[in-house]
Structure 1
Amino acid sequence: MSTETTDGFGHVSRRVGQLFRYVLFASTLVGILTLAVLLVYVANDAFRPLTADPGWHLVFFLTLVVPTVGVGWWSYRRSYRTLTTGLLGLVLPGIAALYAGGLAALFIDVIPTLVWLSFVVALAVPGAVVVALSRTNRDVPFLAQIAAVLVSAVGSLLVIPGLIQSFPTVPADWMVLVLTIGVPEGALLARWADGRWGRRDGLIAGVGTVIGSALAGVAGIATGIGAVPGVALALFAGVPTAIYVAVVVSERPEQRIGLLLPATIIVGALVGELVVGTLGFAGPESWVDWGFLTGTTQSGDPRSVGIYSGVVGTILLMFTVAAIAIPTGVGAAVYLEEYAPDTRLTRIIDVNISNLAGVPSVVYGLLGLGLFVRYAGAKTGTLIVGGATLALLVFPIVIISSREAIRAVPDSARQASYGMGATRWQTVKNVVLPRAFPGILTGTILALSRAIGETAPLLVIGAAQVFGVPDAWDSTIGAMPLQLYVWASTYASPEFYTTVLAAGIVVLLTAMLSMNSIAIYVRNHYEQR
Structure 2
Amino acid sequence: MATERESGQVQSFGQVSRTVGTVFRYLLMAATMFGIVTLGVLLVYVANDAIQPLTADPGWYLVFFLTLVLPATLVGGYLALRRVSALKLGTMVVGMLVVTLMFSGGVAIVFVDIIPPLVGFSYAVALALPVAAVVVLTKYDRHIGFTARLVSTAALFYLSLFGLPGPVGEALGIPPLLHGVAGVVRSAPFVPLDWIMVTLVVGSVVAVAVGRYAAGIFESTRAGVYAGVAAIAATAAGALAGPFVGIDPVSTAIVTGVALVPTATYAGGAAVVREEDRLGLLFAAVVIGGSLLGAAAVDVLGFAGPQSWVDWQFLTSAHSGTAENAGLYPAIGGSILLMCTVAALSFPLGVGAAVYLEEYAPNNALTRFIDVNISNLAGVPSVVYGLLGLGVFVTYLNRPTGTVLIGGATLALLILPIVIISAREAIRSVPSDMRQASYGMGATRWQTIKNVVLPEAFPGILTGTILALGRAIGETAPLIMIGAPNVLFNLPTDLTSKVSAMPLQVYAWSSLFASEDFYTKAVPAGVVVLLAVLLAMNSIAIVLRNKYESES
TM-score tier (shorter):
over 0.9
Question: Which residue in 1 is equivalent to 2:7?
Answer: none
TM-superposed deviation, 1:144: 4.4
Alignment partner of 2:432 out of 411, 433, 443 = 411
Q: Distance in 2 between matches of 1:352 and 1:218?
A: 55
Q: Distance in 2 between matches of 1:141 and 1:410?
A: 29
Question: Which residue in 2 is equivalent to 1:389?
Answer: 410
Q: Distance in 1 between matches of 2:11 and 2:312?
A: 64
Alignment partner of 1:155 out of 156, 159, 162 = 159
Check if 1:507 corresponds to 2:529. yes
Alignment partner of 1:32 out of 26, 36, 42 = 36
Query: Quick check: 1:463–1:477 contact (8 Å CA) kept in 2?
Result: yes
One-letter amino acid of the counterpart of residue 109, structure 2:
A
Question: Which residue in 2 is equivalent to 1:50?
Answer: 54
Identity of aligned residues (%): 54
Q: Distance in 2 between matches of 1:496 and 1:488?
A: 7
Alignment partner of 1:20 out of 17, 24, 27 = 24
Check if 1:260 corresponds to 2:282. yes
TM-superposed deviation, 1:117: 2.1
Equivalent positions of 1:354-365 (< 5 A) are 354-365=375-386
Q: Deviations over 1:396-434 (max 9, x none)?
A: 000101111111112111111111111111111111112
Question: Which residue in 2 is equivalent to 1:193?
Answer: 214
Q: Distance in 2 between matches of 1:38 and 1:187?
A: 42
One-letter amino acid of the counterpart of residue 502, structure 2:
M
Check if 1:324 corresponds to 2:345. yes
Alignment partner of 2:540 out of 511, 515, 518 = 518
Quickly say closer, same or farther: Cα 1:248–1:278, change in 2 above 3 A: same
Check if 1:277 corresponds to 2:299. yes
Equivalent positions of 1:118-157 (< 5 A) are 118-135=122-139, 139-140=143-144, 142-156=146-160, 157=162
TM-superposed deviation, 1:188: 5.0
TM-superposed deviation, 1:81: 1.2
SS in structure 2 of the partner of residue 10 of structure 1: coil
TM-superposed deviation, 1:140: 4.4
Check if 1:346 corresponds to 2:350. no
TM-superposed deviation, 1:350: 0.3
Query: Quick check: 2:51–2:307 contact (8 Å CA) kept in 1?
Result: yes
Quickly say closer, same or farther: Cα 1:95–1:137, change in 2 above 3 A: closer
Check if 1:449 corresponds to 2:470. yes
Check if 1:431 corresponds to 2:431. no
Query: Quick check: 1:217–1:228 contact (8 Å CA) kept in 2?
Result: yes
SS in structure 1 of the partner of residue 278 of structure 2: helix
Question: Which residue in 1 is equivalent to 2:389?
Answer: 368
Question: Which residue in 1 is equivalent to 2:75?
Answer: 71
Q: Distance in 2 between matches of 1:446 and 1:344?
A: 31
Q: Distance in 2 between matches of 1:233 and 1:60?
A: 25
SS in structure 2 of the partner of residue 261 of structure 1: helix
TM-superposed deviation, 1:39: 1.2
One-letter amino acid of the counterpart of residue 69, structure 1:
T
Alignment partner of 2:236 out of 191, 214, 219 = 214
Question: Which residue in 2 is equivalent to 1:3?
Answer: none
One-letter amino acid of the counterpart of residue 170, structure 1:
V
Quickly say closer, same or farther: Cα 1:25–1:294, change in 2 above 3 A: same
TM-superposed deviation, 1:349: 0.2
TM-superposed deviation, 1:377: 0.9
Query: Quick check: 2:210–2:265 contact (8 Å CA) kept in 1?
Result: no
Q: Distance in 1 between matches of 2:239 and 2:138?
A: 37
Q: Deviations over 1:286-332 (max 9, x none)?
A: 11111111111x22211111111111111111110100001110110
Question: Which residue in 1 is equivalent to 2:245?
Answer: 223
Q: Distance in 1 between matches of 2:38 and 2:203?
A: 45
- Range moving further from structure 2, 276-285 or 326-335: 276-285
Alignment partner of 1:291 out of 306, 309, 313 = 313
Alignment partner of 2:118 out of 111, 114, 118 = 114
Query: Quick check: 1:302–1:500 contact (8 Å CA) kept in 2?
Result: yes
TM-superposed deviation, 1:77: 0.9
Q: Distance in 2 between matches of 1:390 and 1:441?
A: 18
TM-superposed deviation, 1:249: 0.7
Query: Quick check: 1:87–1:262 contact (8 Å CA) kept in 2?
Result: yes
Check if 1:94 corresponds to 2:98. yes
Query: Quick check: 2:484–2:499 contact (8 Å CA) kept in 1?
Result: yes
Q: Distance in 1 between matches of 2:325 and 2:518?
A: 11
Q: Distance in 2 between matches of 1:166 and 1:337?
A: 47
TM-superposed deviation, 1:132: 3.5
TM-superposed deviation, 1:25: 1.6
Q: Deviations over 1:9-66 (max 9, x none)?
A: 2123333322222221211111111111111111111111100111211221222111
One-letter amino acid of the counterpart of residue 364, structure 1:
Y
SS in structure 1 of the partner of residue 16 of structure 2: strand
Q: Deviations over 1:199-237 (max 9, x none)?
A: 553343122111111111122233222222211111111
- Range moving further from structure 2, 397-406 or 213-222: 213-222
SS in structure 2 of the partner of residue 401 of structure 1: helix
Query: Quick check: 2:331–2:501 contact (8 Å CA) kept in 1?
Result: yes
Question: Which residue in 2 is equivalent to 1:379?
Answer: 400
SS in structure 2 of the partner of residue 286 of structure 1: coil
One-letter amino acid of the counterpart of residue 15, structure 2:
H
Alignment partner of 1:496 out of 518, 530, 542 = 518
TM-superposed deviation, 1:520: 1.0
Alignment partner of 1:246 out of 260, 268, 284 = 268
SS in structure 2 of the partner of residue 11 of structure 1: coil
